[in-house]
């Protein structure tokens, strides 16, 4: 079979329609996990098949796609997914957050605020926030239906009792529009406040066959206690390349003596700042050139 | 030097080229033809068709070649290809009672109408490496007998006639299809059987074995195991009648299991059922045992808490494409989540250090 024998964005129209219906249902019931008949994709489960199916169902030929993994456009799996859509949908691609109409992401929300009309598609490994408290789907579906989230609060309380703070650093659970407790995918909790966004946020879990959504301007509250309020944390450094003091940072080991540097995990955000002339501790002109 | 993530695209392309080289191996050695794989690696082809849920020996052979013999990878290729195929229609249920059997054995009766046919089996071979195969594959022609003309009725039907085995009621409702609908629990038996027939052979074998070792024991006998070709018929609307559109080779296993009876049922035997594409009898027998174990509720048995009785556990973990994909995804970069844990651990260690210092003072 030649590549042109595949439909636009790989999936056939019937399948895309089925996915779009699941997306619409998800948008209508924010935070609710909609079961959908996930297809077997030409990349492995666990590598973004849910996100890829949601993106495939959303893309039109006029779209501009950005794909990031860990905030970066050039991580291997982001490259692979971007190439897949270039091949099967011939859409324009970009690394600039502001230019993208559809952004597929794994583990991060872009630093630059998203705008109305943009779609952010998350790859989700385990969509069920209660899964590690109760492994059975039959039980967790009941718990959501009855809004029975006591178990989650007990878990957070026990965290504080044992560790002095809530020891969940990523995939930090949220409550959407006062109803469903939702797993925001393994984004660092630093990103949680930006789940309240002007963009549509769609979450696709291929292996687990679930789609859910946060419509624009939906209330998203990170679970906490009055005396232990939620805190979005990050490494206590500025970016060593662009000097930004408010972005989420990757820690990079730079020499055999364990020397470290900290850089923005959002590569587009960092490169844009450097292009505007911002410089961090280690960004001499040589280094900046090399990274460009 | 900060080079961690740069050059991903170039690295991927280079890795693919290297992979192609490795797949080909030493170019001085003749390349494998798909016909060779199809004809001489037929049990591998069968497994790929069964777990790939696509009956096409040529495509399965291609997948095995492309996957360098990694059968799970080959199954993955077939599954991904299968996604792109349109669904034109549905066949009628195949009639395995009318199977042209290459092999048909029963462990419960010494003989039965139609006879026992060993067929091409490893069963009574001595597992001694045959060095003649390494030297040259020359093989004398095997003698050919007359094809068995006698019908081979299903052996469990003889028990059924006396009411000694629980009856399977025929139904005409369309069975669910896990490749077209999201999986839902509790599943019905048809859906369980679909999940098991495309499930990983090793996983289903392990589950079946666990029942034999006491984790949900159900005392199985192989009532009948048959392997052979069946015709696939479907009604073509334009024609208005049924036509045969091809043949499949299937392995079918029916187990006869002990059952003490309950308050509502007199003692009788029960059944487990396995049906798998190709000659795949280890899988078909395993499937029958697991099917039987999962029927505890329907048959009024106790839940012993055995893994093989736990429908959600078995079905959610039987698929090797789901399992291997999710397992191997931990190779992907996770430095964002790792970073957040790193900070958390540092913060908690600092807090713990403060407390210890205070306690010491």
Interface confidence (ipTM) of the complex: 0.84
What is the per-residue pLDDT across B319-353, written as a single tens digit (0 to 9) for each? Answer: 999 999 999 999 988 888 888 888 888 888 888 88
Q: Does some domain include residue A239?
A: no
- Is residue A263 within 8 A of residue A247, CB to CB? The reply is no
The whole-number pLDDT of residue B194 equals 97
The whole-number pLDDT of residue B3 equals 36
The whole-number pLDDT of residue B235 equals 93
The reply to whether A144 and A287 lie within a common domain is no
Task: Report the 3 state secondary structure along chain B.
Answer: CCCCCCCHHHHHHHHHHHHHHHHHCCCCCCCCCHHHHHHHCHHHHHHHHHHHCCCCHHHHHHHHHHCCCCHHHHHHHHHHHHHCCCCCCCCCCCCHHHCEEEEEECCCCCCCCCCCECCCCCCCCCCCCCHHHHHCCCCCCCCCCCCCCCCCCCCHHHHHHCCCECCCCCCCCCCCCCCCCCCCCCCCHHHHHHHHHCCCHHHHHHHHHHHHCCCCCCCEEEEEEEEEEEEEEEEECCCCEEEEEEEEEEEEEEEEECCCCCCCCCCCEEEEEEEEECCCHHHHHHHHHHHHHHCCCCCCCCCCCCHHHCHHHHHHHCCHHHHHHHHHHHHCCCHHHHHHHHHHHHHHHHHHHHHHHHHHC
Q: Touching check for B349 and chain A: CB below 8 Å?
A: no
Please indicate whether, in this complex, the C-beta atoms of B12 and A291 are within 8 angstroms of each other: no
Structural domain of A261: 249-291
| DSSP secondary structure letter of residue A112 | S
- The model carries a pTM of 0.89
Q: Does some domain include residue A138?
A: yes
The reply to whether A182 and A262 lie within a common domain is no
For residue B339, which residues of chain A lie inside 8 Å, CB to CB? Answer: 188, 235, 249-251, 265
Interface probe for B, chosen from A6, A46, A80 (most Cβ of B below 10 Å), is: A46
The reply to whether A161 and A279 lie within a common domain is no
Q: Does some domain include residue A32?
A: yes
Q: Does some domain include residue A237?
A: no
The reply to whether A37 and A130 lie within a common domain is yes
The whole-number pLDDT of residue A284 equals 62
The whole-number pLDDT of residue B2 equals 36
The reply to whether A269 and A198 lie within a common domain is no
Task: Say whether pLDDT at B53 is over 60.
Answer: yes
CA distance B326 to chain A (A): 4
Q: Does some domain include residue A238?
A: no
The reply to whether A26 and A112 lie within a common domain is yes
Task: Say whether pLDDT at A289 is over 90.
Answer: no
The reply to whether A60 and A184 lie within a common domain is yes
Q: Domain coordinates of chain B in residue numbers?
A: 8-82, 96-121+146-168+177-318, 329-360
For residue B6, which residues of chain A lie inside 8 Å, CB to CB? Answer: 74, 291
Residues 249-278 of chain B whose Cβ lies under 8 A from any Cβ of chain A: none
Confidence of residue B9 (pLDDT cuts 50, 70, 90): confident
**Average pLDDT, integer, range B106-132:** 90
The reply to whether A196 and A285 lie within a common domain is no
CA distance B191 to chain A (A): 14
| Cis previous bond, B186, omega within 30 | yes
CA distance B337 to chain A (A): 6
CA distance A98 to chain B (A): 22
CATH number, domain containing residue A89: 3.40.50.11310
Which of A222, A237, A257 is the endpoint of a domain?
A222
Highest mean pLDDT of the ranges A101-105, A250-254, B109-113, B169-173 = A101-105
For residue A136, which residues of chain B lie inside 8 Å, CB to CB? Answer: 185, 312
- Is residue B313 within 8 A of residue B322, CB to CB? The reply is no
Q: Does some domain include residue A197?
A: yes
Q: What is the mean pLDDT of chain A?
A: 93
Show which residues of A are catalytic. 31, 239, 242, 264, 270
The reply to whether A120 and A28 lie within a common domain is yes
Q: Does some domain include residue A236?
A: no
The whole-number pLDDT of residue A26 equals 98
For residue B337, which residues of chain A lie inside 8 Å, CB to CB? Answer: 107, 169-171, 186, 188
The reply to whether A160 and A268 lie within a common domain is no
- Considering only the beta carbons, identify the residue of B1, B312, B322 that sits closest to A207: B322
The reply to whether A200 and A276 lie within a common domain is no
Q: Does some domain include residue A235?
A: no
Q: What is the tally of structural domains in chain A? A: 2
The reply to whether A216 and A255 lie within a common domain is no
Q: Touching check for B168 and chain A: CB below 8 Å?
A: no
Q: Touching check for B236 and chain A: CB below 8 Å?
A: no
The whole-number pLDDT of residue B322 equals 96
What is the per-residue pLDDT across A27-58, written as a single tens digit (0 to 9) for each? Answer: 999 999 999 999 999 999 999 999 999 999 99
């Amino acid at each position: 079979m030649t590549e042109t024998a595949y439909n636009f964005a790989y999936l056939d129209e019937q399948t895309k329609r089925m996915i779009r219906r699941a997306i619409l249902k998800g948008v209508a019931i924010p935070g609710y996990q909609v079961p959908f008949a996930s297809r077997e994709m030409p990349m492995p489960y666990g590598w973004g098949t849910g996100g890829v199916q949601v993106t495939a169902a959303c893309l039109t030929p006029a779209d501009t796609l950005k794909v990031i993994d860990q905030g970066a456009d050039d991580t291997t799996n982001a490259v692979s997914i971007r190439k897949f859509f270039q091949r099967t949908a011939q859409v324009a691609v970009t690394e600039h957050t502001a230019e993208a109409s559809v952004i597929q992401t794994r583990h991060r929300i872009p630093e630059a605020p998203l705008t109305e009309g943009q779609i952010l598609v998350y790859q989700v490994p385990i969509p069920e926030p209660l899964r590690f408290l109760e492994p059975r789907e039959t039980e967790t579906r009941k718990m959501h239906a009855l809004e029975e989230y006591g178990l989650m609060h007990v878990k957070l309380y026990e965290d504080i009792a044992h560790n002095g703070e809530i020891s969940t650093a990523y995939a930090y659970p949220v409550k959407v529009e006062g109803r469903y407790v939702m797993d925001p995918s393994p984004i660092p909790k630093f990103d949680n406040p930006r789940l309240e966004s002007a963009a549509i946020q769609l979450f696709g879990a291929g292996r687990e066959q679930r789609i859910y959504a946060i419509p624009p301007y939906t209330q998203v509250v990170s679970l906490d206690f009055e005396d232990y309020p939620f805190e979005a944390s990050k490494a206590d450094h500025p970016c060593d390349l662009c000097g930004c003091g408010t972005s989420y940072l990757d820690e990079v080991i730079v020499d055999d003596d364990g020397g470290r540097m900290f850089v923005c995990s959002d590569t587009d955000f960092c490169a844009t700042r450097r292009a505007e002339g911002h410089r961090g501790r280690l960004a001499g002109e040589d280094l900046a050139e090399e990274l460009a | 030097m900060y080079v961690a993530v740069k050059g991903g695209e170039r690295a991927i392309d280079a890795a693919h080229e290297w992979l192609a080289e490795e797949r080909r191996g030493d170019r001085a050695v003749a390349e494998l033809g798909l016909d060779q794989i199809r004809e001489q690696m037929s049990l591998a082809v069968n497994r790929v068709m069964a777990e790939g849920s696509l009956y096409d020996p040529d495509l399965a052979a291609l997948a095995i070649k492309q996957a360098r013999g990694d059968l799970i990878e080959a199954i993955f290729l077939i599954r991904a290809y299968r996604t792109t195929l349109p669904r034109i229609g549905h066949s009628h249920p195949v009639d395995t009672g009318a199977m042209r059997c290459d092999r048909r054995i029963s462990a419960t009766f010494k003989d039965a109408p139609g006879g026992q046919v060993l067929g091409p089996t490893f069963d009574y071979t001595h597992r001694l490496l045959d060095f003649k195969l390494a030297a040259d594959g020359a093989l004398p022609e095997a003698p050919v007998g007359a094809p068995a003309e006698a019908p081979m009725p299903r052996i469990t039907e003889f028990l059924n006639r006396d009411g000694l085995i629980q009856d399977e009621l025929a139904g005409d409702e369309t069975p669910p299809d896990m490749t077209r609908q999201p999986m839902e629990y509790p599943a019905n038996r048809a859906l369980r059987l679909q999940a098991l027939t495309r499930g990983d052979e090793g996983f289903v074998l392990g589950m079946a074995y666990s029942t034999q070792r006491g984790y949900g024991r159900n005392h199985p006998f192989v009532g009948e195991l048959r392997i052979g070709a069946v015709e696939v018929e479907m009604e073509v609307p334009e024609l208005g009648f049924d036509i045969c559109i091809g043949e499949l080779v299937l392995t079918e296993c029916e187990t006869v299991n002990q059952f003490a009876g309950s308050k509502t049922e007199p003692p009788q035997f029960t059944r487990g059922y396995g049906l798998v594409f190709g000659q795949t009898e280890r899988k078909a027998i395993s499937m029958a045992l697991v099917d039987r174990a999962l029927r505890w509720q329907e048959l009024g048995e106790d839940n012993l808490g055995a893994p093989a009785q736990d429908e959600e556990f078995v079905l959610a973990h039987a698929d090797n494409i789901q399992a291997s994909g999710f397992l191997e995804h931990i190779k992907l970069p996770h430095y964002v989540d790792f970073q957040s844990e790193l900070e958390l651990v540092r913060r908690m260690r600092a807090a713990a250090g403060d407390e210890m210092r205070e306690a010491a003072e």
